[in-house]
Amino acid sequence: MQLINTITEMQALAQNTFPGKSIGFVPTMGFLHQGHLSLVERSVSECDLTVVSIFVNPAQFGANEDLDSYPRDMDRDLKLLEPLGVDYVFFPSNGMMYPSGYKTWVEVRELSDVLCGASRPGHFVGVATVVLKLVNLVKPTYMYMGEKDFQQVTVLQTMLRDLNLSTRIVPCPIIRDGNGLALSSRNTYLSPTDYPKALSLSRCITRAQELASSGERLSENILRELNILLQNSGAKPDYISIVDSRSLSPQSVVDCNSRLILAAFVGKTRLIDNGRVLLDN
């Protein structure tokens, strides 16, 4: 496993070593968990070479968000990646990614303004910008991304399509702990009393699926029950919506493209989750 910490080294690899090979890329902000590792394992099994990036991207955090306290542990991350067969770990500094005088930002309109984008203005501009820069440096064939960040995957697929980039996103299933909590680096913030409240997010998804499978098709009826479920658990809903998974537009009637997507605060920690509403028979 080779460590790359300069942009020129990364560019030289992409130019000299990568052509003719399938390159799998897993962009991360570090503090890796089994969700990230499942993306890495898939990339290693499907591609000739795998690159993992570790960069806590300041541009995607709002002024009052957790940039300073975001968990970081590079030694631990490298120990987790080494046995998986990763070829390169790219960890640029802030100054390399955003040198002084930096002025260029990428905006994927409409998709970036709803759901998490409405609660976190500017977040998806930061995500799209850093991912475009990383894709431009690594030039991957495939980018492996978790569906926990469902809106992020949709925003980035649209960006790659609109900018005629050949990299394809491989969306990968959400990894959950034994009680259903979607794995996230931010779960480390949860206290023992927060944890049961955090489980209410995945309970919303299973309850929506139960309601839909028993014949309920009206989103407002499903959402009314889920808001009560969240509030009774002690979690504070940020948003909860049933959307068309392709456009992220709200749906009033559930169909086979419906996705339940939600964010809630558990104490000070903001958690997100999502899942299909109608499951295949």
Contact positions vs ligand PAF (CB under 6 A): 27-29, 57, 60, 127, 130-131, 149, 152
In the complex, minimum distance from the CB of residue 148 to ligand PAF, in angstroms, rounded to a whole number:
8
Residue 50: closest CA among 74, 75, 21? 21
In the complex, minimum distance from the CB of residue 157 to ligand PAF, in angstroms, rounded to a whole number:
13
Residue type (1 letter), 5 = N
Cα distances (Å, whole numbers) of residue 226 to 25, 121, 235, 250: 36, 25, 11, 16
Q: What are phi and psi of 89, to 5 degrees?
A: -115, 120
36 is catalytic: yes
Give 272 or 277: the residue with its C-beta nearer to ligand PAF. Answer: 272
The answer to whether the beta carbons of residues 55 and 188 sit under 8 Å apart is no
For residues 22 and 2, what is the distance between their CA atoms, to the nearest angstrom? 18
In the complex, minimum distance from the CB of residue 26 to ligand PAF, in angstroms, rounded to a whole number:
9
Cα distances (Å, whole numbers) of residue 250 to 70, 83, 257: 31, 43, 11
For residues 169 and 25, what is the distance between their CA atoms, to the nearest angstrom? 9
Give 169 or 243: the residue with its C-beta nearer to ligand PAF. Answer: 169
Give 146 or 275: the residue with its C-beta nearer to ligand PAF. Answer: 146
One of 26, 30, 36, 212 is an active-site residue; which one? 36
Give 60 or 251: the residue with its C-beta nearer to ligand PAF. Answer: 60
In the complex, minimum distance from the CB of residue 94 to ligand PAF, in angstroms, rounded to a whole number:
12
Active site members: 36
